[in-house]
């Protein structure tokens, strides 16, 4: 945990009164969303497992607080709730972004691969959302943004565990949206295509990263959803690289 006070030069923005928590905020898409929210003046809490990466991220996000937790671990998530309750007493924006990606044919996918994908990409949404809901209910502008994937709607070979987790996460998000709408809690699913983060290293072929989405593109979609007036909810955003899916970004022959 690393408590920092807001930098004196931070200007009030359109999210100035909001407390925003981002799981997996230490790098990649989560870090870009944290930076976008901070530029709008939100108070950020970034969550991840690696303390060093979190400290690094906290330095790159104005006024951010970091909290080390494994979002697949019930007791860590309970600690996160207690910390948030003590420090802030409420939560306005929850971004469920933490996730992992395994690229393997089904026949080589182990139970451990399967459990890691399901735990990080699906069960974590259940744990974190259920734990933090009481704090969102104290907000006047509560919003949950789940970072899913186009693999939540499209089947990709060598992605059985990942697709299963993201299809499940999309179903979960859609139910959540219906159950929480009467409480005034907005729920948005963002489904990005291939994005240039550490995850792109998992493919077994060389990828032209310039043709992928950049983390900032996904962050911009999240920011746009957050900035809608309270009367408007963005249900789902399906965001893909303009030059085509990952196959079209292949540089040459297989790597392994």
Ligand X SMILES: NC(=O)c1ccc[n+]([C@@H]2O[C@H](COP(=O)([O-])OP(=O)(O)OC[C@H]3O[C@@H](n4cnc5c(N)ncnc54)[C@H](OP(=O)(O)O)[C@@H]3O)[C@@H](O)[C@H]2O)c1
Q: Is 92 in the site for ligand X (CB under 6 A)?
A: no
Is residue 103 among the annotated active site residues? Answer: no
When the beta carbons of 1 and 200 are compared against ligand X, the nearer one is 200
**Does the footprint of ligand X cover residue 71 (CB under 6 A)?**
yes
**Residue 109 φ/ψ, nearest 5 degrees:** -75, 120
Q: Write down the least CB distance from residue 18 to ligand X, Å.
A: 21
- Give least dist CB 232 to ligand X, A: 24
Nearer to ligand X, 154 or 200 (CB): 200
Rounded to a whole number of angstroms, the minimum distance from the CB of residue 183 to ligand X is: 25
Nearer to ligand X, 47 or 135 (CB): 47
Does residue number 79 form part of the binding site for ligand X (CB under 6 A)?
no
Count residues near ligand X (CB under 6 A).
31
CB of 198 to ligand X, least distance (A): 4
Q: Site mask, ligand X, residues 4-33, x = CB under 6 A?
A: -------------------xx-xxxxx---
Residue 50 binding ligand X, by CB under 6 A: yes
* Residues 125-164, mask of contacts with ligand X (x by CB under 6 A): ----------------------x-x---------------
Catalytic choice (67, 101, 103, 162):
162
Per-residue burial over 225-254, b if 16 or more Cβ lie within 10 Å, else e, is bbeeeeeeebebbebebeeeebeebeeeee
In the complex, the residues that contact ligand X under the rule CB under 6 A are: 23-24, 26-30, 47-50, 53, 70-72, 97-101, 120-121, 147, 149, 192, 194-195, 197-200
Supply the residues annotated as catalytic.
162
């Amino acid at each position: 945990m690393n408590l920092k006070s807001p930098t004196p030069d931070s200007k009030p923005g359109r999210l100035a009164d909001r407390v925003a928590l981002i799981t997996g905020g230490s790098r990649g898409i989560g870090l870009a969303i944290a930076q976008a929210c901070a530029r709008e003046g939100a108070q950020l809490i970034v969550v991840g497992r690696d303390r060093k990466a979190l400290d690094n991220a906290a330095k790159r996000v104005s006024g951010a607080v970091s909290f080390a937790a494994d979002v697949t671990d019930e007791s860590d998530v309970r600690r996160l709730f207690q910390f948030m309750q003590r420090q802030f007493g409420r939560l306005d924006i929850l971004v469920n972004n933490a996730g992992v990606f395994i690229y393997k044919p089904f026949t080589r996918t182990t139970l451990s691969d399967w459990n890691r994908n399901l735990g990080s990409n699906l069960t974590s949404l259940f744990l974190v959302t259920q734990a933090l809901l009481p704090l969102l209910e104290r907000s006047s502008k509560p919003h949950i943004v789940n970072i899913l994937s186009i693999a939540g709607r499209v089947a990709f070979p060598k992605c059985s565990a990942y697709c299963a987790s993201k299809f499940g996460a999309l179903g979960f998000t859609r139910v959540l949206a219906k159950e929480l709408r009467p409480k005034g809690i907005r729920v948005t699913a963002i489904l990005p295509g291939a994005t240039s983060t550490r995850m792109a290293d998992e493919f077994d072929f060389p990828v032209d990263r310039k043709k992928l989405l950049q983390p900032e593109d996904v962050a911009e979609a999240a920011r746009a959803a957050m900035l809608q007036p309270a009367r408007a909810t963005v249900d789902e955003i399906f965001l893909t690289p303009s030059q085509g899916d990952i196959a079209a970004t292949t540089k040459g022959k297989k790597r392994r």
